[in-house]
Amino acid sequence: MKILVVNAGSSSLKYQLIDMETEAVLAKGGCERIGIAGSVLKAKGNGKEKVYEQGMPNHKVAIELVLSALTDGEIGVIKSMDEIGAVGHRIVASGEYFKKTTLVTPEVLKTLEEKTFELAPLHNPAAATGLRACIEVMPNTPMALVFDSSFHQTMPEKAYLFGIKYEDYKEYGVRKYGAHGTSHKFVSQEAAKYLGKKPEELKIVTCHLGNGSSISAVDGGKCVDTSMGFTPLAGVLMGTRSGDIDASAVEFLARKKGLSHADMVTYLNKQCGVAGISGVSSDFRDLIAGAESGNERCALALDMFAYQTKKFVGAYAAAMGGLDCIVFTAGIGENTPTVREGVCKGLEFLGVKFDKKANAAKNNGAIREISAKDSKVKVLVIPTNEELVIARETAELL
């Protein structure tokens, strides 16, 4: 079966067509600037790339264009859209309404739209727009919702509750949900495979370090804690997000800066993190270049990021009562040796014996071991593949 994976944003739509027999990516691409001037689809298939500079006033036109690229005479990989067995849609927030991957029905669509939008106002409405467009264009193809937060549903109550009134958690669903679940799931399973162990035998800390970063404790194949919270603002400081901060400091800052609640949340999401600390950039490549040329605030931002990540590794080792493996993944986790070294430095007491030389080797897109052969705790770099997880979950559901 061939599964189309769709990740729709407010003005973008990324896709991959995956053959589930081989798990090979047959075609992939993305529409940009949907609904605004200059919309473009960059599509790959058959080892070739084609750029469609075509007006896309809405997501329906975008998905129609994706389907014509998939069936294109030159870069197309299927004869007709009937070859697509199902579509898996990436959805950021599920709240407590969806515990796992869910087949779309009118009822499900209603719950998604009425209950979850306010949990992820930037992401869920955009994803639903993409979903509705797909339903319109492919009315007979099954659609699945794959949630970023599903993998975290196994967290125990003591891990996901905030210290607020229990009645308010019940009434408003305010609790930790986590994010990047598909990535944490994928890399923890890959780590077990690589180590030749069953997931049940391992205590793993997975560090998804990208523009958004989250760290998870995976005990026996199940997520038992994660650093992101009610929204992706929590945990370590990120590209432009503050990460954890005392709620009273938020109110204090808002008052001093004369910001409304909404503006304060935007400030914490968009102007803080390593960009705010360094005053230079949210991109770790810029921070490393800055630190190397003597910019102290770039060095400080990098130091804070590694320090905060390390604290989660230690906390999660304690929470699980042991540690067998640390995994680094995503843009920074896969490509930035200094961050990995900063996180692992000082963890010798936990049984981490870091291999600096292996760590410095270039990213070759494969799984790499960056701990010494005799390290009690294995440290791995594993390229993430969220699209493959979405496709697998969709296929399993069917």
**Residues in the site for ligand ADP, rule: CB under 6 A?**
210-212, 239, 283-285, 330-332, 335-336
CB nearer ligand ADP, residue 147 or residue 284: 284
> In this structure, which amino acid lies at residue 303?
D
Residue number closest to ligand ADP, CB atom? 331
CB nearer ligand ADP, residue 153 or residue 240: 240
Sign, CA dihedral 145-151-152-153, equals: positive
CB nearer ligand ADP, residue 199 or residue 243: 243
Least CB distance from residue 396 to ligand ADP, whole Å? 24
From 236, 241, 282, 235, select the one nearest 265 (Cα to Cα). Answer: 241
Least CB distance from residue 7 to ligand ADP, whole Å? 10
Q: Tell me the longest C-alpha to C-alpha distance in the chain.
A: 61
Give the N- to C-terminal CA distance of the chain in Å, as an integer.
10
CB nearer ligand ADP, residue 7 or residue 102: 7
Cβ atoms of 277 and 301 closer than 8 Å: yes
CB nearer ligand ADP, residue 148 or residue 324: 148
**Residues in contact with 208: Cβ distance below 8 Å, sequence separation at least 6, in sequence order:** 180, 183, 184, 187, 214, 215, 216, 329, 330, 333, 384
Cβ atoms of 81 and 70 closer than 8 Å: yes
| Catalytic choice (148, 219, 225, 324) | 148
Structure tokens at 137: 């264009």
Least CB distance from residue 387 to ligand ADP, whole Å? 12
CB nearer ligand ADP, residue 71 or residue 211: 211
Measured distance CA(226)–CA(105) in Å, rounded: 30
The Cβ-side half-sphere exposure at 24, using a 13 Å CA radius, reads 8
Least CB distance from residue 361 to ligand ADP, whole Å? 13
Is the backbone of residue 47 left (phi > 0), alpha (psi -120 to 50) or beta? left
Q: Is 148 a catalytic residue?
A: yes
Measured distance CA(202)–CA(184) in Å, rounded: 14
Q: Please, is 127 exposed, middle or buried when counting C-beta atoms within 10 Å of its C-beta (0-12, 13-18, 19+)?
A: buried
CB nearer ligand ADP, residue 199 or residue 210: 210
Least CB distance from residue 136 to ligand ADP, whole Å? 28
- Pairing of the two strands 325-329 and 378-381: parallel
Least CB distance from residue 298 to ligand ADP, whole Å? 12
> In this structure, which amino acid lies at residue 260?
S
What is each CA distance from 142 to 85, 329, 345, in whole angstroms?
A: 7, 31, 48
Least CB distance from residue 150 to ligand ADP, whole Å? 18
Active site residues: 148
